[in-house]
Amino acid sequence: MGIDMSRRIVAEFFGTFWLVFGGCGAAVLAAGFPQLGIGFLGVAFAFGLTVLTMAYAVGHISGGHFNPAVTVGLWSAGRCTVGDGILYIIAQVVGAIAAAAVLWLIASSQPGWIPGGFAANGYGELSPGKYGIGGCFLTEVLMTFFFLFIIIGTTSRGAASGFAGIPIGLALTLIHLVSIPVTNTSVNPARSTGPALFAGGGYIGQLWLFWVAPIIGAVLAGLLARWIYEREAIIETVVVEESRIA
């Protein structure tokens, strides 16, 4: 493994660690804190801020995926190889599990602490709003679709250079504002896996949905974006050639 890939894998590990620790940590440690709890709104912004900060910290190293669905979506858009994608996903899942483990150690040090769902994702009885499997599945597909579409669009040729982290972070915030009551918001299989392993029980049994649905949404977004921005690139090339001739 080359040193360049080693750095990229480390970047994905820490980027995903920060996303899970920061976002799920806000939910577990701060959302329901008496009198000063940040609630759903605070958790939504916490997830958005984790992506925003790490996009600028290590995005230039690894591309700032921090999410297996993002990696698969970028692969379907022609921006990631299979080999790189597999290594990225392993790093992301390990980072998410490590973050959940650290969060568990911190949270469990409080006397009388009850883990509850431990910020895990779920449907039916494990959904915050008790939404059924169909609604939860559709929500995760749709939210991930638009997340990937925004990621690819803001990092495509012609987009404002150097500012992609802002709309991507805000997009994740908006996604959480909409879907926390439905699934507790995943759009990220690694983020779902870490907390589910510690929440245990039904959360592990429902983990399949939070891999399948986000990946479906990501692939669809990648394919659509590939078609849209491929056409844009062709048009841009033609314009450049015509200007040279003129």
Q: What is the pLDDT of residues 133-189, one digit of tens each?
A: 999 999 999 999 999 999 999 998 877 778 999 999 999 999 999 999 999 999 999
- Domains of the chain in start order, with CATH, are 3-245 (1.20.1080.10)
Query: Which runs of consecutive H residues, i.e. helices, occur in the chain?
Result: 3-25, 39-62, 68-76, 82-107, 133-154, 165-183, 189-199, 202-205, 209-245
Q: What is the pLDDT of residue 179?
A: 98
User: What is the identity of the amino acid at 119?
Assistant: A
Q: What is the pLDDT of residue 37?
A: 77
**20 close to 188: Cβ distance less than 8 angstroms:** no
Q: Mean pLDDT over residues 60-79, rounded?
A: 96
pTM (two decimals)? 0.91
Q: Mean pLDDT over residues 119-145, rounded?
A: 98
